[in-house]
Chains A and B, each alone.
Chain A
Amino acid sequence: MINEASYWITLAHLPDWGNSKINNLIIKFHHNYQISIDEFFNLDEQVWRKEYELEEKQIIDLKKAKSEITNNSFIAESLLNQGFEIIPITLPEYSQTLKSNLKSKYSPPILYIKGNKSILNEESIAIVGSRDASKNALLFTDNIAKKASIESKTIVSGFAKGVDKKALDSAISYHCNSVIVLPQGIMTFTSGYKDYYKQVVDGELLILSTFFPKLPWKVELAMARNPIIYGLADEIYVAESSEKGGTWSGVIDGLKKNRRVFVRIPEANEKNANNILIEKGAIPVDINGIETQANLKLDDDNSNIQTSIF
């Protein structure tokens, strides 16, 4: 796999292809023809055209990509030397939750990670919410982290201010495993890394990014990262959402896909869109993350949790 790293980097970031087309190609060479990625790239153009039924434009793109493998080798060497890993979608280490949530249409073809990658296939929850979160939202976040720790679940968050940061710090304080999904290329994650180095070394924290490793932070990347956070989690907990922005659109999208989304019931004086999300079908939970009576009847299992928390 190590030797294929530069090929995977090249394929994963083919400009204008989008994950869907790239994944379809991967399915073809990996599942249908059962060849490795470097074998695929070294195939004759004719084979690409005939057997892989690639369009001329795609062949041009792939030829250009092929010439860039050399360039990406330099980045790949540095990346691997620094202990980052590349996990292609074809490997079992790739998050199966992510794959089943996002399907081949949206799943990123590779994950860049550092840390204990076995975390990726543990049961997980995401905690999301706004950057300037209210006191209640932060308290909620902390409670959910505590709950996750008791249930041995991994916490996925986005390494932004507010709820994200709280989710991470609480996870750490309760020794709960966590994944942070970066809004930037993994090699540009510098200042934050120093602070959480110890947790990475101890195997409690996994750093993950899906972007080209050298890309610096951008608003667009922060937006593009949200589906990954939602996708990596089995359940989603919303501490606080306004009526637009990343949290909002992520939840709406999740509801459409029938995901289990829990939203904190706001107090009367709070100005946020939590209630609207509940109206749209999200499951209301109290400040401790416990489903309200009405819902509990439908789901007996959770009564155990209630007692065990207190």
Chain B
Amino acid sequence: MMNRIEAEDRLLKTFKIPNFYDEQWITISKILNGEKVLLIEKTGFGKSLCFQFPATVFDGLTIVFSPLISLMRDQVKKLNSLGINAKCINSEQTIEENNQIINEAINGNLKILYIAPERQENSEWLESTLKMKIAMVVVDEAHCISVWGHDFRPSFKRIINLVKLLPKGLPILATTATATKRVENDIIEQIGDNIISIRGNLMRDNFKLFVIKVSSEDEKMMWLGRHINSFPGNGVIYTGTRVNTEVYANWFEYLGISSTSYNAGLDSESRVEIENGLMNNRWKCIISTNALGMGIDKPDIRFVIHTQIPQSLIHYYQEIGRAGRDGETSYVILFYNPKDKSLPQAFIEGARPSINKYEKVISTIKKELLGERELMKATNLKLNQVRVIKSDLIEQGIIREVLLGRSKKYEFIPKSKKLDNDAFEKLKESKLKDLQSMIDYVEAESPRMKFICDYLGDNSKQEYINCDNTSEKKINVKIKPEWEEKLKDFREDKFPILEVESKGSKIVNGIASSFYGVSDVGKLIYSSKYENGGDYPETLLNLFVKAYSKNYKYENFDVIIHIPPSISGNLVRHFASKVSKKLKIPISHDLIKIRETRQQKEFENNYLKAENISDAFEFKNPTRLKNKNILLIDDVFDSGVTIKEVGKYLSKLGVSKITPLVIAKTVGGDVL
């Protein structure tokens, strides 16, 4: 086996790095010796090198299981720039691309292949593994294996079984920065006694850590609007929700601050584009959910700001780990409004569907072998509910996933135990405790870095002077009236987009006069709709008309059409009539439903929603609409399924254009 000097010689040539850190070399020599190692080191330590280097030494392919596509792409790009043949296969690439890469792996041209553990569900992949020469298996971000970890992924758990099946002498490396003692023990216990763990200290001393306490979302927006450009370099702002990535990006755009939003709701092309832009400092900052995060390695992210507390201090350590990986000073700021707690809390407490929904799934699966979509139909449950239930039931050993050719089905496991409700309670308690750690961090008066390290089980003695509890000055938010003005103007000027355009339909993207969750809009709508609050109030009408005049003042609409209601109730009809009067555009009430449909919100998923209203609409006197420019009005835009269906129908009648305009848009959820 090669010694350290020979290895470092090679390291310099291949990776342009002169020396290993000691703990890297300890790990690497074990790996070269065919051992199994769990490596826990701080964010930005250089854990990747511990498998990338051996991978270039081994004759054969290294398979790396990785939880995030953005992370795979990031590492592949770096390796390729060093001339090392690494690729990833993932669900965002075409089947042809993936097959091409698999062929390369089989032909022995590839050194490192990144895959998501879900790949093990793919039949072609399984067949191709038979033909590869595999030298090592790596599990990056290995905390995903443990339910006690901050980002448990059921499919990661399967890797445990794979690791157990792999022959002795095949090197295996599992890495993470964010494993508490409990997670570490859990991983080791599951994998078995032939894995050793190496743990380093977690201190990131180039961080400057601050907590800014505020009393409203507005204060965060105004403070950031005012100060973001005075931060050095580029950075990332994490918001708690997808809708807030949009809101903040709109706000920055309004202020002329260069930024873009990133979340898992974007299509893959946009995401790749943004990831590249991040690396090239195309924007001052990227406003993102935690979909961008884990493992991403950019040397000079100078600030990481959270507008919302993450679910736990471990999440937080992971996310701020993106900052300052070059070792230079970087700002790490957390905003906290006591109200913010409710979001992660609701998430933890509401994350699980009710027990009778679990029982419904179990009894359905007992009778029949079903796929996800069939299961949704058979149970009338939402996609995300079905997914949560499925993975819990798999975790508890009550059902399992099987492959019938290309399709995945779920089968009942004979003689399995009863659903264990206590397990959910325990997990929930543990998560609430983790959330409390986050609050404790906010309130802490001790050195912040030490607080984090202690929590993560790193007790090494060090000096901590890098936060607003030690040598840095506290930041307080003082707002000048001009900023209040600016924010108000923004609110009245910028509108959420309704993306409904599709091939063969004359419908164009429209706007909403507001987001549902912002200010009082949601409350007002809810009260009229579900609490007998009467017609939609003037406030909403004014908001709507304002949105109209800001965006469509110069558009000549021929007629207003509104979406007919599912049950009695003329809220939208009355509202549209008032709009018509105010804007002086003729209105038609002739769009009707030709068959009974149920309220869309009764249906928990889009398949059923689409089915519910498909071919349900008719326009009396259809010829009248030929070449007409139509303004289509509804109250709340959620999935967009109804509006798209109406757009499709009206297009067939020969209209020239349909523009949807609604009172409020929800983002990524059924608020109603």
Given A76-B165, A190-B405, A194-B404, also A116-B132 (CB < 8 A): no
Given A74-B126, A75-B129, also A83-B400 (CB < 8 A): yes
Q: Is B184 an interface residue (CB 8 A)?
A: no
User: Which residues of A lie under 8 Å from residue B161 when comparing CB positions?
Assistant: 2, 77, 80-81
Asked if residues A78 and B126 are in contact (CB atoms below 8 Å), the reply is yes
Nearest CB to that of B128 among chain A residues? Answer: A74
Distance, CA A190 to CA B413, complexed state (A): 18
CB distance from A258 to the nearest CB of B (A): 37
What is the interface of chain A mostly: helix, strand, loop, or mixed?
helix
Q: Is A138 an interface residue (CB 8 A)?
A: no
Question: Size range of the interface on B?
Answer: 35 or more
Q: Is B369 an interface residue (CB 8 A)?
A: yes
Within 8 A of B (CB), among A1-16: 2-3, 5-7
Number of interface residues of A (CB under 8 A): 38
Asked if residues B413 and A70 are in contact (CB atoms below 8 Å), the reply is no
User: Which residues of B lie under 8 Å from residue A75 when comparing CB positions?
Assistant: 126, 129-130
Asked if residues B402 and A83 are in contact (CB atoms below 8 Å), the reply is yes
Q: Is A304 an interface residue (CB 8 A)?
A: no
Q: Is A275 an interface residue (CB 8 A)?
A: no
> Which of A21-29, A195-203, A230-238 is near enough to bind chain B?
A195-203
- Name the one of B129, B170, B369, B400 contacting A197, with C-beta atoms under 8 angstroms: B369
User: Which residues of B lie under 8 Å from residue A78 when comparing CB positions?
Assistant: 120-121, 126, 403
Given A83-B413, A197-B369, A197-B411, also A74-B404 (CB < 8 A): no
Distance, CA A194 to CA B409, complexed state (A): 9
User: Which residues of B lie under 8 Å from residue A74 when comparing CB positions?
Assistant: 120, 126, 129-130, 162
Asked if residues B369 and A193 are in contact (CB atoms below 8 Å), the reply is yes
Nearest CB to that of A83 among chain B residues? Answer: B400
CB distance from B361 to the nearest CB of A (A): 15
User: Which residues of A lie under 8 Å from residue B127 when comparing CB positions?
Assistant: 214
Q: Is B367 an interface residue (CB 8 A)?
A: yes
Q: Is B181 an interface residue (CB 8 A)?
A: no
Nearest CB to that of A77 among chain B residues? Answer: B162
Distance, CA A3 to CA B401, complexed state (A): 20
Asked if residues B167 and A82 are in contact (CB atoms below 8 Å), the reply is no
Distance, CA A195 to CA B368, complexed state (A): 9
User: Which residues of B lie under 8 Å from residue A200 when comparing CB positions?
Assistant: 414
Q: What mask results when residues 163 to 192 of chain B are scored 1 for a CB within 8 Å of chain A, else 0?
A: 011111110000000000000000000000
Q: Is B589 an interface residue (CB 8 A)?
A: no
Asked if residues B167 and A73 are in contact (CB atoms below 8 Å), the reply is yes
Given A197-B368, A201-B412, also A71-B134 (CB < 8 A): yes
CB distance from A86 to the nearest CB of B (A): 11
Distance, CA A80 to CA B402, complexed state (A): 10
Asked if residues B167 and A41 are in contact (CB atoms below 8 Å), the reply is yes
Q: Is B357 an interface residue (CB 8 A)?
A: no
User: Which residues of B lie under 8 Å from residue A202 when comparing CB positions?
Assistant: 414
Distance, CA A82 to CA B369, complexed state (A): 13
Q: Is B158 an interface residue (CB 8 A)?
A: yes
User: Which residues of A lie under 8 Å from residue B367 when comparing CB positions?
Assistant: 198
Q: Is B131 an interface residue (CB 8 A)?
A: yes
Distance, CA A53 to CA B449, complexed state (A): 63
User: Which residues of A lie under 8 Å from residue B400 when comparing CB positions?
Assistant: 81-83
Q: Is B271 an interface residue (CB 8 A)?
A: no
Q: Is A38 an interface residue (CB 8 A)?
A: yes
Q: Is B366 an interface residue (CB 8 A)?
A: yes
Given A5-B165, A6-B167, A203-B414, also A72-B130 (CB < 8 A): yes
User: Which residues of B lie under 8 Å from residue A72 when comparing CB positions?
Assistant: 130
Q: Is A191 an interface residue (CB 8 A)?
A: yes
Q: Is A69 an interface residue (CB 8 A)?
A: yes
Asked if residues A6 and B369 are in contact (CB atoms below 8 Å), the reply is no
Q: Is A30 an interface residue (CB 8 A)?
A: no
CB distance from B115 to the nearest CB of A (A): 11
Given A41-B167, A77-B165, A201-B414, also A71-B401 (CB < 8 A): no
CB distance from B230 to the nearest CB of A (A): 52
Given A83-B413, A197-B411, A203-B414, also A3-B403 (CB < 8 A): no
Nearest CB to that of B369 among chain A residues? Answer: A197
Asked if residues B166 and A6 are in contact (CB atoms below 8 Å), the reply is yes
User: Which residues of A lie under 8 Å from residue B413 when comparing CB positions?
Assistant: 83
User: Which residues of A lie under 8 Å from residue B369 when comparing CB positions?
Assistant: 193-194, 197
Asked if residues B132 and A73 are in contact (CB atoms below 8 Å), the reply is no
Number of A-B contacts (CB under 8 A): 94
Within 8 A of B (CB), among A47-81: 66-78, 80-81
Asked if residues A71 and B130 are in contact (CB atoms below 8 Å), the reply is yes
Asked if residues B414 and A73 are in contact (CB atoms below 8 Å), the reply is no
CB distance from B546 to the nearest CB of A (A): 56
Asked if residues B366 and A201 are in contact (CB atoms below 8 Å), the reply is yes
Within 8 A of A (CB), among B403-457: 403-405, 409, 411-414
Nearest CB to that of B366 among chain A residues? Answer: A201
Interface centre among A5, A41, A187 (most CB of B within 10 A): A187
Given A72-B130, A75-B130, also A81-B168 (CB < 8 A): no
Q: Is A42 an interface residue (CB 8 A)?
A: yes
User: Which residues of B lie under 8 Å from residue A214 when comparing CB positions?
Assistant: 126-127, 130
Given A81-B400, A198-B367, A201-B366, also A73-B411 (CB < 8 A): no
Distance, CA A210 to CA B24, complexed state (A): 46
Within 8 A of B (CB), among A253-272: none
User: Which residues of B lie under 8 Å from residue A81 when comparing CB positions?
Assistant: 120, 158, 161, 400-401
Distance, CA A67 to CA B170, complexed state (A): 10
Nearest CB to that of B412 among chain A residues? Answer: A201
Asked if residues B131 and A71 are in contact (CB atoms below 8 Å), the reply is yes
User: Which residues of A lie under 8 Å from residue B162 when comparing CB positions?
Assistant: 73-74, 77
CB distance from A175 to the nearest CB of B (A): 16
CB distance from B285 to the nearest CB of A (A): 41
Within 8 A of A (CB), among B339-385: 366-369
Asked if residues B414 and A2 are in contact (CB atoms below 8 Å), the reply is no
- Name the one of A69, A71, A80, A82 contacting B129, with C-beta atoms under 8 angstroms: A71
User: Which residues of A lie under 8 Å from residue B126 when comparing CB positions?
Assistant: 74-75, 78, 214
Given A71-B134, A194-B404, also A6-B165 (CB < 8 A): yes
Nearest CB to that of B365 among chain A residues? Answer: A201
User: Which residues of A lie under 8 Å from residue B368 when comparing CB positions?
Assistant: 197-198
Asked if residues B129 and A116 are in contact (CB atoms below 8 Å), the reply is no
CB distance from A220 to the nearest CB of B (A): 20
User: Which residues of B lie under 8 Å from residue A38 when comparing CB positions?
Assistant: 167-168
CB distance from B188 to the nearest CB of A (A): 16
Distance, CA A268 to CA B511, complexed state (A): 83
CB distance from B74 to the nearest CB of A (A): 25
Distance, CA A41 to CA B127, complexed state (A): 24
Nearest CB to that of B133 among chain A residues? Answer: A67
Within 8 A of A (CB), among B131-151: 131-134
CB distance from B15 to the nearest CB of A (A): 26
Given A83-B413, A201-B412, also A77-B158 (CB < 8 A): yes
CB distance from B130 to the nearest CB of A (A): 5
Interface centre among B120, B126, B165, B405 (most CB of A within 10 A): B165
Asked if residues A70 and B170 are in contact (CB atoms below 8 Å), the reply is yes
Within 8 A of B (CB), among A67-121: 67-78, 80-83, 116
Distance, CA A190 to CA B411, complexed state (A): 13
User: Which residues of A lie under 8 Å from residue B158 when comparing CB positions?
Assistant: 77, 81
CB-defined A-B contacts under 8 Å, sample of 7? A6-B166, A66-B167, A70-B167, A83-B402, A191-B404, A193-B369, A214-B126
Q: Which 6 A-B pairs have the closest CB atoms?
A: A74-B129, A73-B165, A190-B404, A197-B369, A69-B167, A77-B162
Interface residues of B (CB under 8 A from A): 120-121, 123, 126-127, 129-134, 158, 161-162, 164-170, 366-369, 400-405, 409, 411-414
Interface residues of A (CB under 8 A from B): 2-3, 5-7, 38, 41-42, 66-78, 80-83, 116, 187, 190-191, 193-194, 197-198, 200-203, 214
- Assuming A42-B169, A190-B405, A197-B369, what are 17 further A-B pairs, CB within 8 angstroms? A68-B130, A71-B129, A71-B131, A74-B120, A77-B158, A77-B161, A78-B120, A78-B126, A81-B158, A82-B400, A116-B414, A187-B403, A193-B402, A197-B368, A198-B368, A201-B411, A201-B412
